[in-house]
Structure 1
């Protein structure tokens, strides 16, 4: 038969149990695992870190699923608008030369300046340049695509001339122009 504990011992044991139960309350419930005898228990900071990583992973998975659903539900409309912009540019380009195509696409970009408008203007420009007449000296100052520093300088100065300095939409139009000039140089070389 076990000896009864004194009152001080009983109070000390109750305090320890209260502290242990309070500590378990602070631990995230995902990682409350029983520790076998002889094992080292996981630190509380490690449990919080793992819980945070799990939450970030779940949040990222949720955002990925929502993004996938959004893109898959809108892709057909986006593709048809892009095809329509290229076809419209080709129709307009039959009556224009290269310089006018670039000026008209920058005018389209000035309407809104959003990402969608910039992409639509770039697609329109690609169609317009494909069908347009070659203007004399249009591609003379355009650097080849491999020269990165000259490309950046040329694109920035061309966008500044059109009043669109530091504009990613205008830079996209200049990339399309550079691509057109590179293709025209390859086609005209013997």
Structure 2
């Protein structure tokens, strides 16, 4: 076996071990934190439903955006905030035009363009967390 082939083999094995180790670590982390994550999700659902009662949908969006800007939420914090917004929108009143122009989820380019424009209109242009958050608006509008 040539020297180059051995190097390629060791690099390949190293990458495989890295991927397996990373996947195992992520799996173990979720197993250790499953109960806490479930509780956070339930609390976010409750908070969103409680906050959205008697409110209009744009108030829910404003509150979720405010929470989004309260420091670095990370992946779990963003997901919890999205659950809050989904629950809030489920019970909030929808003003006329709130869902105008929302594209179907299967139109990926239109969805991405809409999310960018919506975040820009909300004063959060260029914010990837915002584009992920407004996905809850899209889902909510398409469900009703």
TM norm structure 1 = 0.66
Does structure 2 retain, via aligned residues, the 8 Å contact 1:155–1:171?
Answer: yes
Q: Which has the higher contact order (CA 8 A, sep 6+)?
A: 2
How many residues are paired up?
Answer: 143
Q: Does 1:120 align with 2:80?
A: yes
Distance change in 2, residues 1:58/1:154 (3 Å): closer
Aligned to 1:177: 137
Taking the TM superposition and a 5 Å limit, the aligned residue runs for 1:35-74 are 42-74=1-33
Q: Does 1:111 align with 2:70?
A: yes
Please list every run of 5 or more consecutive structure 1 residues that lacks an aligned counterpart in the other structure. Answer: 1-41, 185-190
Superposed CA deviations along residues 57-83 of structure 1, whole A, max 9, x for unmatched, are 333333333222222111221121012
Does structure 2 retain, via aligned residues, the 8 Å contact 1:118–1:170?
Answer: no
For the pair shown, the structure with the greater C-alpha radius of gyration is 1
Q: Does 1:101 align with 2:60?
A: yes
Aligned to 2:108: 148
**Could you tell me how far apart the structure 2 residues matched to 1:148 and 1:58 are?**
34
Aligned to 2:48: 89
- Greater shift, 92-101 or 138-147, is seen at 138-147
**Could you tell me how far apart the structure 2 residues matched to 1:81 and 1:158 are?**
27
Q: Cα RMSD over matched residues?
A: 2.0
Aligned to 1:24: none
